[in-house]
A and B are shown apart, each in its own frame.
Chain A
Amino acid sequence: MRVTQSMINRSVIKSMNDSKENLSSIQNQISTGKKLDKPSDDPVNFTRSVKYQNTMNDNQQYIDNIVDGNGWMESSENIINQIYELTVDARDRAIQGADDTNGPNERSILGGEVDAILDSAIALGNSTYQNKYIFGGTDTTKDIPFAVDAAKNVSYQGNSEAISRRIYENYDMTINVAGDEIQDSGVFENIKALRDALNSNDTTAINQAITDLNNTSTRLLSTQAHVSANKNQADMTRVRLETANTNLSSYISQTNDTDMAEAIAQYGIEEMAYKAALQTTSTAINLNIMDYLT
């Protein structure tokens, strides 16, 4: 069969158009980023992808809850630690005051220092996080949790309710320490008792305050450790959720999304094919009389 120039032209133009069409289709995949647009494209994978996407969304919500809860727990942990340090300071004053070399004047001076420590402890008890009282239970915005009268008697005005965040499916974590737990540690009562003992030069009461403040310190440390353990657990849960989402994303990018690596790789191949077709066309169409003579 005789191959005419017009047949060559038609052939190369068809080849070029085929390549162009293919390239356009792949470019469309890349620009939309979706391989599955509707259930009928691939019902099994579509259903599975939707399910996993929902799981990812749920996981992200849990992660957000953990981040929020961790902020609250970190603040609680930090404040409790500062209150603990104050009890240690108060106990140090008590040990000094119990020393027989000190007289009423020295003890009165120490009593003044302990009074300042008590003020600091109360102020810390009324700390806020994001404009909410940390130790008010669920009563976080109305009154200060720890009210104080002229004699520095401290009363708790919040409630004992837990603030919780859902950090995993069917699992809620308590993120707060209600103020009654701080109050029950005896921190305010025992610091005040030490102050009064120092001011009244009562060494027996001072020695009792040392024992009581030791007990308070132990309870505060225990509360702090509990918060810390919860925070660590939340952190580990967050990393596990992030890992799950990375895995889910890795899977989804290969089914629901057009896998970019694949698309780009194909794009490269198709682009080369298109360029090759263009080159052939150019060669074919540019033939002139001289090409036949040579």
Chain B
Amino acid sequence: MESMSTTTHTGNESMDPALPDLKPINFKYGLPGFESLTRFVINDIDDFPPFQMLSSLDEENFSLLVLSLSILKIENGLSLLVDTLVKSGITREKYDILLVLKLDRERKIFTANLKAPVCIRKQDLQGSQIILDEPGLPVDFILNKV
């Protein structure tokens, strides 16, 4: 996505002097598959407002495509996700919840991993990708329209 302009939204660490010097989001255990990467920021993608990038501060040009749960209409599979998160003590008031997206190239659609959302505690910017023990949550929830 290097040709797309991005702006730092959360967890900036002096990447842009004009922005406040916020701490990065700390992922103590990294992310599944990328356990060594522990510091991230969230970038908005200007040309694609709903989509964001979870970008590593530890490895150059490393980003995951994510979408905030807050912009989605909570229904169907997402209701189950929200209910499951609440049961685990994770509320949208206290946490920013991001869904990691994957492109299904054959069908040309995005899918979201509802089984393992990225949860960022707003208070101290501690993040974790939590694997939820709920069989009804798919790892490839079809996201046709945002």
Contact = CB atoms under 8 A, between A and B. Distances in A.
Contacts of A45: 61
Interface stretch (A131-139, A249-257, A273-281): A249-257
Interface residues of A, number: 29
B32 to A, nearest CB: 4
A259 B101 CA distance: 12
Contacts of B129: 243, 247
A285 interface: no
A243 B33 contact: yes
A236 interface: yes
B64 A251 contact: yes
A130 B113 CA distance: 32
A246 B113 contact: yes
A261 B33 contact: no
A257 B139 CA distance: 21
B51 interface: yes
Contacts of A33: 105
B71 interface: no
Contact of A253 (B3, B62, B103, B116): B103
A266 B100 contact: no
B65 A254 contact: yes
B18 interface: no
A184 interface: no
Contacts of A74: none
Contact of B48 (A55, A254, A265): A265
Contacts of A262: 1, 3-4
Contacts of A265: 4, 47-48
Kindly state the interface size class of chain B when it binds its partner: 20 to 34
B108 interface: yes
B131 to A, nearest CB: 5
A261 B103 CA distance: 9
Contacts of A229: none
Interface string B10-39: 000000000000000000000111100000
A55 B114 CA distance: 22
Contacts of B4: 262, 265
A247 B3 contact: no
Contact of B64 (A241, A245, A247, A266): A247
B92 interface: no
Given A248-B34, A257-B103, 12 more contacts: A239-B116, A239-B139, A240-B32, A242-B115, A242-B139, A243-B115, A244-B32, A249-B103, A251-B64, A253-B103, A254-B64, A260-B103
26 contacts: A33-B105, A239-B115, A242-B139, A243-B115, A243-B116, A243-B129, A243-B131, A243-B139, A244-B32, A245-B33, A247-B31, A247-B33, A250-B64, A250-B101, A253-B102, A253-B105, A257-B103, A257-B105, A259-B1, A261-B51, A261-B65, A261-B103, A262-B3, A262-B4, A265-B48, A266-B3
